Amino acid sequence: MTPPTSVPTSESIRAERSCAVITRRRSDDRGSVIVEAALALPILVILMLGLLDMGFLWRQSNVTQTAAGSAGRVAATTGAYRYADFEALRAVDAALSGIGRVEIQRVIIYNANFGNEPPGSCLAIAVSPTDTSTKGVGGVCNVYSQAQVQQENAGVGFGSPSAVDPTCSPGSWDSNWCPSSRNAPTPGQQPDWVGVFIELEYEPLTGALGAGEFTYSRTAVFQVEPCIDGLSLYDCPL
């Protein structure tokens, strides 16, 4: 005996159609989520890499400001000491030794009596990283390259002054604004202000912020301190 065949009702037909529609909708939703994720993921990656580069740049900027401050304090403390610039450059080199992806474009040690920023005539002087020539503006500033900043021997580039004549010899790297000509505070004499300007080029870690390097600078200005024999870091000039 053949079992009776069930005849689908209108309710069952509607239920089957509803299930099919829901299944298609779920498939469509999964497909749209995948497409949206594929579109959003590159943007999120670029944002993350950009934040990473900004973080590195912010850190380098802070370290550079510390380097300018350290060099400025050394230049102010050493005052008219013959090797004041050399000691200031050593402070810059020491402070920047712990960071990477940067190249020193120039360091300017300048007379800040008339303003906190380096004079335009000094900023107009460009140097290459390996330049070891004497550059600056007479009585105003000395401009140093990366190679000069990293020079560890004062006898190279800064001459060998004697106790009789502690001045800068012609052609020495600091001869444009010789440290021995700087005024410390004394009765009847206004002290000089000395500024240190550091310009660096930062190579981005990821390139998410755009192609090429970023150039930035930091400055610090201090008043030349009085020289007191036995209390100063260095012997007072004659």
- Tell me, yes or no, whether 53 lies in a domain: yes
Q: Give the dihedral sign, CA 229/234/235/236.
A: negative
- Tell me, yes or no, whether 39 lies in a domain: yes
| Domain count across the chain | 1
Long-range contacts of 85-89 (CB under 8 A, 24+ apart): 85/109, 85/142, 85/144, 85/158, 85/173, 85/174, 85/179, 86/154, 86/158, 86/174, 87/234, 88/196, 89/144, 89/148, 89/149, 89/151
Strand, helix or coil for residue 217: strand
pLDDT at 55: 79
d(CA 26, CA 131): 68
pTM: 0.78
- Tell me, yes or no, whether 168 lies in a domain: yes
- Tell me, yes or no, whether 231 lies in a domain: no
- Tell me, yes or no, whether 159 lies in a domain: yes
Q: Read off the pLDDT of residues 97-115 as tens digits, 9 standing for 90 and up.
A: 978 889 999 999 999 998 9
Q: Read off the pLDDT of residues 142-193 as tens digits, 9 standing for 90 and up.
A: 999 999 999 999 889 988 755 445 678 888 999 999 998 998 877 777 889 9
pLDDT at 12: 54
- Tell me, yes or no, whether 15 lies in a domain: no
pLDDT at 226: 79
Domain that holds residue 213: 32-223
- Tell me, yes or no, whether 188 lies in a domain: yes
Minimum mean pLDDT among 2-11, 35-44, 49-58, 202-211: which range? 2-11
Pick from 29, 50, 196, 52: which is nearest to 112 by CA?
196
Residue of higher predicted confidence among 8 and 185: 185
pLDDT at 168: 87
pLDDT at 95 over 60: yes
Find the distance separating the first CA and the last CA of the chain, reported in whole Å.
131
pLDDT at 202 over 70: yes
- Tell me, yes or no, whether 24 lies in a domain: no
Enclosing H/E stretch for 103: strand 102-111
What is the average pLDDT value for the chain, to the nearest integer?
82
